[in-house]
Amino acid sequence: MYYLGIDIGSLSSDAVLIDRDETVLATSVVPTGARNQEAIERATNEVLQKSGLTKDRLAAIVSTGYGRNRVTDRLCAVTEITCHAKGILAFYPQTRVLIDIGGQDSKVILLDADGKVTDFAMNDKCAAGTGRFLEAMARALQVDIDEMGELDKGAQAGLTISSMCTVFAESEVVSLIANGTPVKEIVNGLNRSIASRTVSLVKRVASDLNGYAVAMSGGVARNNGVVRAISEALGGVSVLVPELPDTVGAMGAALIAKERSGG
Amino acid sequence: MMMEYFEQLEDGLRKAIASGQASPRKIYSLEVARLGKRLYSGTNRVAWCGITAPFDLLGAMGITSCFVEFIGAMLASTGAAGEFIEATEHIGYSSDSCSYHRAVTGAAIKGLMPEPEFLIGTTNPCSGGLAVIENLAAHFKKKLFVLHVPQDESGKNVRYFADQLRDMTAFITDVTGITPDPEKLKMAMTNTNRTRSILAEIYDLARGLPSPVTSKELSNFGIVMALFLGTEEAVNVAEAYRDEFKHRLAAGATGRPKEKFRLLWIQNRIQFKNPIEKLLEDEFGARIVIDELNDITWDPIDLDDIYGGLARRSISIPFNGTIEKRVSHLRKLAKAYQVDGAVNPCNWGCRQGTGARGLIEDGLKEIGVPVLNLEVDCVDSRKFTEGQFRTRLEAFVEMMESRK
Ligand code: SF4
């Protein structure tokens, strides 16, 4: 029996296929684009192809993410909060604080010693500091988003990007470029501004980290610079990042699929 | 526009009730529509007030009185608040201020606020509301009396506030020529006391396991019922609710079939049409069984000391005092109604709401009640995105589920 977890986010749709031993057989990350039905199909087909299985071998599908209710043949839809919490424990069972920064949401989830969600906080009012924010900044800097994670290396770390609004931050970045500010300093400033927002969310659920293990999931966790900045802003706490941080939500969904279908 | 709205509302409700589709909520809404009509009739003597004004005392003097936020909420429920909020922003108001107040101010700018004969401001619980009243007084060039509401119920404070209420009465006499008729005043207070005791019964019944109340039935109830106090109609509305809840409990039936989770709603509801209550009940099996503002915190008014009783009532409203008092009231409600969680909408721009958020959350968490803080503009529907709210509510329910 096989179990599929699928996470339809605003930027990417991710799928994870596991077997009854909870071994990951295949993962897939595809852009969501304008039509999430297509993204759902593509992500599903990709994992099936990679694992050489056909859809009828799936015992259950659980969906998560903003498009979770668009997955028609699901067993159930579960929120990203529960799925990310469940998923991260498969990689780091000691996690007590999970930071998840996705395309338009950032959230911090507090887990108890049994892995249950005891509190969570999400970004409010706007999507500053999320994946879309970073995308806009990469565009302004004319760099590839995937390169951005290393571009802050060697920065003096003194620059502050004061605008939280994506549009204003973008024009701030453009003026900094025009003034000849080195890219590494700008990237570092952006990373630290995301970190400071994230740490406020962390403090909302855990005013004192008490030695808790902190992990990070979501597409932004692929950006080492942001992870480093968050770690520094948390006072040097190391932040655990799984190899494929985008797929943590889908992994959680796959595990829930197994659990709820009696697998 | 507003007069038409209230007329249509009254008409529709009257017909529904006459055709045998009466419900407590319809009977209550009918009174809301009638109040709206009186405010906009152009023939009634109108006073715009702060939330803690003594509406029954004003009513006994023949004045149709109402807190200004009522208009903000009504504009929101008609779906028309946006243009009024914009009108206020066009003259320089910050878009971060409370949108109840921006909507009311916009209504005044666009000529949609009935002209009052005078205004009664209250310094508590909402300083923004007082600013709106002061603006309206300037706009209409009408006299304003400000009640300085103390924060705690010491004997000295009660006497201080009772004296202000007497001064307020003298001010009204001065402006309108009306002197309070002691008999009418006593009759109004008798009605207030009757309503009070039925409201206490309703809130008691709502504690039932499962509760006979649905999430929507008592929304905005406590705060709006204050506007009807002193009248026979308030007694009728309260009786309709009490009888219906008693009937449901006796029949073993509750408002809705499922009640997996019981919720406490903090401060005001969201005023425009939104799917939150339906989502909570139909999809998540969660029901709002109590609102912070639906509680009786005051003793019956002593007919031999009406001003003292009214003063004590205004001061007693927990939303009025320190955050400590508010938190302890919320904890009392959470325990009495055995709630699994609380939802705090934290209306944008509300200093009272957002300023107290952390302390409220800590205070409830200490007794094992998790709190979902939403960031929502309760009046401006243009800022509402259903997906965001759905995820937060659903995750909160999932979290409560895992704790069961
Ligand atoms: S939401 Fe807050 S600021 Fe607005 S009217 Fe209510 S108490 Fe006042």
Give the pLDDT score at B108: 94
Cβ atoms within 10 A of the Cβ of B306, count?
23
Q: Within an 8 Å CB–CB cutoff, is residue B387 touching chain A?
A: yes
Q: Does A120 touch chain B (CB under 8 A)?
A: yes
A217: three-class secondary structure by DSSP: strand
Q: What is the dihedral of CA B218, B220, B222, B223, to 10 degrees?
A: -170
List, in order, residues 6 or more apart from A148 with CB less than 8 Å away: A134, A137, A138, A141, A187, A223, A225
Going by pLDDT thresholds of 50, 70 and 90, the confidence category of residue B118 is very high
Per-residue pLDDT at B252: 79
Please calculate the CA angle B183-B184-B189 and round it to the nearest 5 degrees. Answer: 100
Question: What is the token pair recorded at A203?
Answer: 């403090």
Cα distances (Å, whole numbers) of residue B223 to B143, B205, B226, B228: 25, 19, 5, 10
Rounded-to-integer distance, Cα B208 and Cα B254, Å = 9
From chain B, the residues in CB contact with A82 under 8 A are 395, 398-399, 402
Give which of A24, A127, A84 is closest to A217, Cα–Cα.
A84
Q: Is the CB of B352 under 6 A from ligand 1?
A: yes
Asked if A79's CB is within 8 angstroms of B391's CB, the reply is yes
Mean pLDDT on B72-92: 92
Cα four-point dihedral sign B34, B39, B44, B50 = positive
* Protein residue whose Cα sits closest to atom 8 of ligand 1: B126
| Residue A224 contacts B, CB cutoff 8 Å | no
Percent of chain B with pLDDT over 70: 99
Closest CA to B306 of B178, B187, B150: B187
* Unique residue bearing structure tokens 């939802």: B343
pLDDT digits (tens, 9 = 90+) for A202-252: 999 998 888 899 999 998 999 999 999 999 999 999 999 999 999 999 999
Q: Is A91 on the interface with B (CB under 8 A)?
A: no
pLDDT of res. B125: 87
Q: State the pTM of this model.
A: 0.88
Find out whether B345 and B374 touch, Cβ atoms under 8 Å: yes
What mean pLDDT is predicted for residues A139-157? 83
Contact A252, A98 (CB under 8 A): no
Tokens of B211: 């509760």
Nearest residue to B91 via CA among B139, B40, B50, B143: B139
- Report how far residue A199's alpha carbon sits from residue A205's, in angstroms, rounded to the nearest whole number: 10
- DSSP label of B385: -
Is the confidence at residue B28, as pLDDT, over 80? yes
> Which residue do the tokens 């006979």 mark?
B212
Say yes or no for a CB contact (<8 Å) between A82 and B398: yes
Cα B354 versus chain centre, distance: 18
User: Residue A153 has what DSSP assignment?
Assistant: T
Asked whether the beta carbons of B64 and B70 are under 8 A apart, the reply is: no
Kindly identify which residue of chain B lies nearest to residue A112, measuring between CA atoms. B403
* Residue from the list B375, B387, B403 with its beta carbon closest to the beta carbon of A125: B375
**B-chain residues within 8 Å CB-CB of A117?**
395, 398-399, 402
Quote the CA–CA distance of B129 and B49 in Å, as a whole number. 9
**What does the longest C-alpha to C-alpha distance in chain B come to?**
64
* Distance (Å) from the alpha carbon of A12 to chain B's nearest alpha carbon: 17
Q: What is the DSSP letter of B248?
A: H
Q: Is A144 on the interface with B (CB under 8 A)?
A: no
Give the residue whose CA is nearest to atom 3 of ligand 1.
B350
User: Could you give the 3-state DSSP secondary structure of residue B121?
Assistant: strand
pLDDT of residue B399: 94
Q: Calculate how close chain B gets to A55, using CA atoms only, in Å.
A: 28
Q: Which residue has the higher pLDDT, B56 or A72?
A: B56
Using a CB–CB cutoff of 8 Å, tell me whether B128 touches chain A: no
The confidence score (pLDDT) of residue A127 equals 72
CA distance A197 to A128: 9
CB B319 within 8 A of CB B241: no
pLDDT for position A166? 78
Average pLDDT, chain A: 91
A118 and B399: CB-CB below 8 Å? yes
pLDDT at A125: 67
- Three-state DSSP string of A20-74: CCCCEEEEEEEECCCCHHHHHHHHHHHHHHHHCCCHHHEEEEEEECCCHHHCCCC
Listed in sequence order, the residues at least 6 apart from B77 whose beta carbon sits closer than 8 Å to its beta carbon are: B271, B272, B273
Residue B257 pLDDT > 80: no
**With b meaning 16 or more CB within 10 Å and e meaning fewer, what string describes B315-339?**
bbbbbbbebebbbebbbebbeebeb
| Residue matched to tokens 């809705």 | B256
pLDDT digits (tens, 9 = 90+) for B281-326: 999 999 999 999 999 999 999 999 999 999 999 999 888 888 999 9
Strands (E), B148-285: 261-265
A190 SS3 class: helix
pLDDT of residue B255: 56
d(CA A8, CA A31): 9
| Cα B320 versus chain centre, distance | 13
- B357 vs A: CB within 8 A: no
Query: A130 falls in which pLDDT band (50, 70, 90)?
Result: confident
Q: Is the CB of B214 under 6 A from ligand 1?
A: no
Query: Which residues from chain B sit within 8 angstroms of residue A78, using beta carbons?
Result: 398
Q: Which residues of A touch B400 (CB under 8 A)?
A: none
The pLDDT value given to residue A124: 73
Residue A131 has pLDDT above 90, yes or no: no
Label residue B403 by pLDDT band (50, 70, 90).
confident
- Say which residue, B180 or A34, is predicted with more confidence: B180
Residue B392: its pLDDT value, please? 92
Strand, helix or coil for residue B28: helix
Q: Which atom of ligand 1 is nearest to the CA of B98?
A: 4
Mean pLDDT lowest among A16-20, B92-96, B323-327: B92-96
Rounded to whole angstroms, how far apart are CA atoms B188 and B194? 10
CB contact under 8 A, A81 and B370: no
Amino acid B132: pLDDT: 94
Reported as a pLDDT band with limits 50, 70 and 90, residue A179 is confident
Check pLDDT > 70 for residue B60. yes
Contacts of B397 (CB under 8 A, 6+ apart): B261, B280, B284, B285, B286
Cα(B110) to ligand 1 centroid in Å equals 22
- Indicate the top mutation candidate among B268, B271, B291, B323 to test ligand 1's pocket, ranked by most ligand atoms within 8 A of CB: B268
Tokens describing residue B293: 């503002």
- A87-115 pLDDT, tens digit each: 999 999 999 999 999 888 889 999 999 99
The ipTM assigned to this model is 0.83
Considering A122-136, B66-80, B250-264, the range whose residues carry the highest mean pLDDT is: B66-80
pLDDT value of position A152: 85
pLDDT of B124 reads 87
